[in-house]
Amino acid sequence: MRLTYTSDVWWKNAVVYCLDVETFKDGNGDGVGDFRGLTQQIDYLAGLGVTCLWLMPFFPTPNKDDGYDITDFYSIDPRLGTLGDFVEFMRTAHDRGLRVIADLVVNHTSDQHPWFVEARSSRDSARRDWYVWSDRPEPDNPEQIVFPDKENSVWEYDEGSGQYYLHSFYRHQPDLNVGNPEVRDEITRILGFWMELGLSGFRVDAVPFLIENVNPRLANPHEFLADLRAFMTRRKGGSILLGEVNVPYKELIAYFGDGLGDQITMCFDFIGMQKAWLSMARNDATPLVDALRERPKPPKDCQWAMFLRNHDELTLDKLTEEEREEVFRAFGPEKEMQIFGRGLRRRLPTMLGGDLRRVKMAYSLLFSLPGTPVIFYGEEIGMGENLEEEGRLAVRVPMQWSEDGGFSQAEPVREIPGGSFAPDRVNVADQKRDTGSLLRWFQLLIERYRECPELAWGEYTVLDTGHPAVFAHRCDADGATVVVAHNLCDTAQDVELRLDGLERCLLTDLLVDGTLEVSEQGVARVPLDPHGCRWLRASPPEIPPEDASVKSL
- Residues 471 and 541: their CA atoms lie apart, in Å, by 27
In total, the chain counts a number of residues equal to 553
Amino acid type, 507: L
Specify whether 503 is catalytic: no
Catalytic residue selected from 65, 103, 111, 205: 205
Helices (H), 295-386: 321-331, 348-351, 356-368
Spatial separation of the C-alpha atoms in residues 553 and 550, rounded to whole Å: 9
Contact 503, 518 (CB under 8 A): yes
Which of 244, 326, 454, 476 is labelled catalytic? 244
- Measured in degrees and rounded to the nearest 5, phi and psi for residue 268 equal -65, 140
- 409-445 residues labelled b (16+ CB within 10 A) or e (exposed): eeebbbebbeeebebebbbbebbeeeeebbbebbbbb
> What is the CB-side half-sphere exposure of residue 118 using CA atoms within 13 A?
11
> With contact defined as beta carbons under 8 Å apart, do 349 and 421 qualify?
yes
**Residue 55 DSSP SS3:** strand
Cis peptide before 216 (omega within 30 of 0): yes
What span, in angstroms and rounded, lies between the C-alpha atoms of 505 and 237?
Answer: 40
Please count the other Cβ atoms lying within 10 Å of the Cβ belonging to residue 480.
22
Among 101, 132, 76, CA closest to 243: 101
Catalytic annotation on 244? yes
- Beta carbons within 8 Å of 187's beta carbon, 6+ residues apart: 106, 176, 178, 228
d(CA 422, CA 400): 8
CA distance 506 to 518: 6
What is the Cα–Cα distance from 348 to 336, expressed in whole angstroms? 16
**Beta strand 343-344 pairing with 480-487:** unpaired
| Contact present, 24 and 383 (Cβ < 8 Å) | no
Greatest C-alpha distance within the chain: 80
Query: Cα separations (Å) of 31 from 79, 410, 418?
Result: 10, 5, 18
Give one word for 274, left, alpha or beta, with left for phi > 0 and alpha for psi -120 to 50: alpha
Sheet strands (E) in 218-340: 240-243, 266-268, 303-306, 314-315, 338-339
Q: Among 65, 61, 41, 63, which residue's Cα sits nearest to residue 53? A: 41
Which stretches does DSSP call E strand in 95-246?
A: 99-104, 133-134, 155-158, 163-166, 201-204, 240-243
> Which residues form the catalytic set?
205, 244
